[in-house]
Structure 1
């Protein structure tokens, strides 16, 4: 599946629709009709306010959905503007109604910003290896391999391969720390690659390890040539077909019944 995690999609959509909520809330606060408030909102004297409360939430939603390191920092930066503007507006007219609105606004936005500071969320933006929906095409391998992890030697099979990583199955138990050097042969040609383990799984006593390749430019070209040969042989692994577990309704049900899915889940999704 190439879809981004549901928590990020939902949060982005909430930002897209936030301007509608702002219009309704502010029209109630100003004790005018929505139509009257919209007309006032686009008055030349209110363009700054219009930009902050209509455009910035939409921009925030776009930055959330992009899911890159730079968009993470930019999102936190743009959120400073509605925070600051709301406070300055309250200072110019410190009424009880505006104070309550300001507190509610701050609480909601602090919850959102706090969510982004969570390590499980932040790591998806900072570590491209965890963004399984961006993985390059994988090809079925079944190559026998010898490898060295830290100071341990082992044997196993490379089950699939892409330009950026591969999956090894072996009887040797390892963890996600330390470099791994991998040697294998394909079509009478020897290959030597290096990488680091980024995730692991255990199935019926066998261990599977997702390896992110650490390659030089020359090694990248070698891997690309190997991928080209495998592609010509029809070894491309097609994307997993959507299942019930990929639906929005399943995510909501799991969220409410199992308390799981609040943050993006990265384990094994794209492998």
Structure 2
């Protein structure tokens, strides 16, 4: 999968990549498409991206677009149009020029470290390629966290396709069994969670239907992946749904680092 990254200075990019997973612990990150199933000769999708307490409500901070990755039906990178970041949300447009399914994601991968040097507490954030020279050899109490996050949604022009849904093999990912743009109320969908391309078993997944600020009950589901990473979700009502999964600890691809991998997805469930 090709990536599309807006050119930024290194410090700003790393801050955006690493701050997002930390924000997920206190607030909800999400991307919300204007539509997920489209037809016609000149269709566009507008996507809002934010971090908030109430799902799909702009009331906290915008999501930065530094790690934006849009994959078209032919697995080629698609450039966003009219990207902008305001006080409470970011937004961008996507022209759907090729029939099929588009994967729209914000992806981050970096390291956070804490250590002591001459009795003083120090902190560092950066890329894995910088780690070897970033922490002094005489440092003690070194703790490194490998932070990965994927926040995504999907849109389809015409018939659903699967080329854009191919896993990258990095971090926590959703490998759809049921197509993510073929979800209907009253039916059960199947997805598989992968960690570095392998089934992620025993991972707790939270699923919440949007519009919670207008309900007394949040409509939250707590599910757990099976041994083969499989997850089944029964949709009682139509609407936009938010899904989150997180893996902490365990082996990281970065030697000596603890893992923190986060997956967030927005799915639309259509009426029967």
Relative to the length of structure 2, the TM-score reads 0.21
Q: Between Structure 1 and Structure 2, which shows a larger proportion of helix residues?
A: 1
**Rg bigger for which structure?**
1
Q: Comparing both structures, which one devotes a greater share of its residues to strand?
A: 2
